[in-house]
Amino acid sequence: MSDEFYIKRCLELAILGIGNVSPNPMVGCVIVLNDKIIGEGYHQQYGKAHAEPNAVKAVFDQYGDEAANLLKQATAYVSLEPCAHFGKTPPCADLFVKHQIKKVVIGNRDPFSSVDGKGIEKLKNAGIEVISGVLDDECRSLNRRFFTRIQQQRPYIILKWAETANGYFATKDGHQKWISGALAKRLAHQWRTEEDAILIGKQTAIMDNPQLTAREWPGKNPIRLVIDKSLQVPLSNHIFNAEAKTIIFNEIKTDVVDNIHYIQMEDMHFYLAQKIAFQLYLMDIQSVIIEGGANILNQFLSTNLWDEARIFTSSNSWTDGVPSPTINGNLKEQIQIGNDKLSIYINDINK
List the catalytic residues: 52
Report whether 163 contacts 312 (CB < 8 A).
yes
Compute the radius of gyration of the chain from its Cα atoms: 23
50 known ligand binder: yes
Q: Give the whole-angstrom CA distance, residue 136 versus residue 106.
A: 9
Burial code (b: 16+ CB inside 10 Å, e: under 16) for 161-200 equals: bbbbeeebbbeeeeeeeebbbeebbebbbebbbbbbbbbb
* Interatomic CA distance for residues 298 and 159, integer angstroms: 10
Give the C-alpha separation, 337 to 351, whole Å. 28
CA separation for the pair 113, 204 (Å, rounded):
39
- What whole-number distance in Å separates Cα of residue 229 and Cα of residue 178? 26
Question: Would you say 149 is a known binding-site residue?
Answer: no
**For residue 267, is it left (φ>0), alpha (ψ between -120 and 50) or beta?**
left
10 is in an annotated binding site: no
83 known member of a binding site: yes
Does the annotation place 173 within a ligand binding site? no
With 0-12 CB in 10 A as exposed, 13-18 as middle and 19+ as buried, what is 224?
buried
Residue 291 is labelled as binding a ligand: yes
Q: What is the number of alpha carbons within 13 Å of residue 57 lying toward its C-beta?
A: 10
CA distance 224 to 246: 5
Residue 178 marked ligand-binding: yes
Binding residues for substrate: 192, 212, 215, 291
Binding residues for NADP(+): 162, 178, 204, 208
Binding residues: 50, 83, 92, 162, 178, 192, 204, 208, 212, 215, 291
Binding residues for Zn(2+): 50, 83, 92
